Chain A
Amino acid sequence: MHPRMWTCLDRSGLKVQPGGFYVDPARVVSTAVVTHGHADHARAGHTTVVATPETHALMRARYGAKYCERAVELRLHESLTLGEVEITFYPAGHVMGSAQVQLNYRGSRLAVSGDYKRGGGDPTCADYEPVPCDVFLTEATFAYPLFRFPNPEWELERLLQSMLQFADRAHLLEVYSLGKAQRLIAMLRAAGWQHPLYAHSSILAINEVYENFGVDLGEVRPLAEFRQMENRERAALLLNPPHVQLPLQANPDGRMLYCSASGWNAVRKHARSRRVDLPLVVSDHCDWDELRQSIHATGASEVWVTHGPADSLREWAKESTDLRVLDLKEVWNA
């Protein structure tokens, strides 16, 4: 039976009918399977949430203890049956606790990727593994051929070189508070960076969860401490989420060097329009090549695309594979 026959898309998101649950629902539902802790996938208020222990801890840290009524923990590579559907989690390599979900209904298999990052190298989470399936529902944040990401270690080297070159300037690095920040801190530590780091409170709160799961991030001080220091350590590295405006007193002489770590920095114009002095191309999503490799690795004959454009993947599939590629919104109209 084709997965299209036992799933549907409604205002809350992807519903798995024989299991009576949604995957990463956008609205409050009775049972939600949550792939990872980012806010566009994990929302508070569901009655039952099935997620990895790490994702539960991240949701608790972000939304408080009452983020759901019943928390069901499912570890990676473990299975659980909800209704008539067997659910198995596979590592997604995106952030700590991130999982891909394999849904098996009477031998028909649908894999929901959530967000994922192929290639490993992230010391804070388990490496991505391909999920065998008949239909693969993939995210497509960077699904254009122009997106080809460099080795993140090389990008980190650029940051360290800049800190040497501009030794009298603090470097303010814009990073998402969940995932990217911890990944970069861990990579900095692995590269031998022993100096204290300063981070926004939202990053510190997530760091604590990571530390509880055994990820050593070293000493990270509150950003407020840097602001209050009389004689600032000029070479300090500050981490701040992109949406948070830094108070003017944090940079009174205007000598801070603005850096950013994002996959969107692969487009130079994007980085320049945001006034970033040092854009680092570091992403926890797949680039174009990785997306295609991942699709092949699942063995799926049909691909559904969400969280990004489907047009380039569709053209590629038409040109060089037998795959059928559909935008998730088109699946039930096709």
Chain B
Amino acid sequence: MHDSYHPDHRSRMKDPVVALFEALYFANDDAIRRTHLRKYLETLHPAHSVVLGWLLLGSPKVPVRTTRLKAMLCERISTWQLQHSQKFIGDLAESIAALWPGDSDGREVDWERLSQRMKSLEQHAESQIADVLDGMCEAQRWLFLQVFVKGNDWNIRPQVLLESLPPGAEQNAALEPLVRELRVRVNAAKQSPRRSWSMVLMYGEKARGGAGWLSWTLGLKDVQERWLPIVKVAPAWVDELEAVRLEDRMRDHTSGGRGPIVEFEKKLVVEVEFSAVKSAPRRKCGIALEQEVMCGIRWGAAVEIVEDLDAFLRANPVEK
């Protein structure tokens, strides 16, 4: 019937790990997340421990610079393909996954072995990463980049994970340590005191009769105790240079332009996903995010993604 349908998309359906993570990526409520997790975990295979580990403890991040990753791709395809696609998507994981040449017709990936292999990688491991990407389909490449390079947090609450486990999970030798850790985290979350917000929604727009926010601005207190509008930006995956430009712009229009922000709760993370950043002189913060979505507000981990960008840049120096 058709001369160019891509086997990639069939592979996505065959690989249960890819299917699970794609479903979790899109799921909008915990009941949906639970159903997907229960379906995946129902067979209670020891290999599931690797997936549980990613969801509970985070995934191992391999030492590869995104600029190097882009260069590797450009050794395989024309540079304009990446430039045009990246400009359109604004996310490296999707751009690289879509453009990396070669289709794999459902080749299975042993994610557990791959995880072990990635943990043992040292610096300058680009060629090994390229080998891995060569043997994958588009959706597998996307998951690999999300898990091992971008280091995505899937935002699954321990409570949801615990409720998704089938009976007998604790008796499974491979899963038992994770289940124990899960129970500890669930109990800790129940006992931790509720904190007050230090970042507020200042103004927002809704479509007429709509349920979701189209656009909004968050605020922080400044030295005079005034609330300053600020859009807090987190993990749409940009490369290092883009991150520097973005951070400069944020600083110019917030702390750089208006004086220091006295204090705010550093453990509060507001995650915003967006497809692109645009200059917006009419906004006080000076920038506008395209297709932004507040995809998570949480306490605790991963604050370094944004707050410690300085540290990130110290570890990954780039020329401005």
Contact = CB atoms under 8 A, between A and B. Distances in A.
Contact of A275 (B1, B2, B8, B28): B28
A146 B86 CA distance: 9
18 contacts: A119-B4, A120-B2, A144-B88, A145-B99, A146-B88, A146-B95, A154-B9, A154-B10, A165-B39, A268-B25, A268-B26, A270-B275, A273-B275, A275-B28, A276-B26, A279-B26, A312-B80, A312-B81
A293 interface: yes
A289 interface: yes
Contacts of B212: 275
B6 interface: yes
B109 to A, nearest CB: 19
Interface of A: 119-121, 144-146, 148-151, 154-155, 157-158, 165-166, 245, 248, 254-255, 257-258, 266-279, 281, 287, 289-290, 293, 309, 311-312, 315, 319
B126 interface: no
A276 B209 CA distance: 18
Contacts of B138: 148
Contact of A315 (B22, B78, B94, B292): B78
Contacts of A273: 273-275, 291-293
B81 A268 contact: no
Given A148-B6, A319-B78, 15 more contacts: A145-B98, A146-B99, A154-B10, A157-B13, A267-B275, A268-B22, A268-B25, A268-B94, A271-B26, A272-B25, A276-B26, A278-B26, A287-B4, A293-B3, A312-B84
A150 B275 contact: no
A325 to B, nearest CB: 13
Interface of B: 1-6, 8-10, 13, 22, 25-29, 31-32, 35, 39, 77-78, 80-81, 84-85, 88-91, 94-95, 98-99, 138, 142, 207-212, 236, 273-275, 291-293, 295
A236 to B, nearest CB: 17
A257 B1 CA distance: 31
B94 A146 contact: yes
A173 to B, nearest CB: 14
A268 B291 contact: no
A170 to B, nearest CB: 13
B32 A257 contact: yes
Contacts of B6: 148-150
A121 B85 contact: no
Contacts of A120: 1-2
Contacts of A267: 88-89, 94, 275
A273 B276 CA distance: 12
Contact of B85 (A144, A149, A248, A271): A144
A239 to B, nearest CB: 19
Contact of A258 (B9, B28, B292): B28
B94 A269 contact: yes
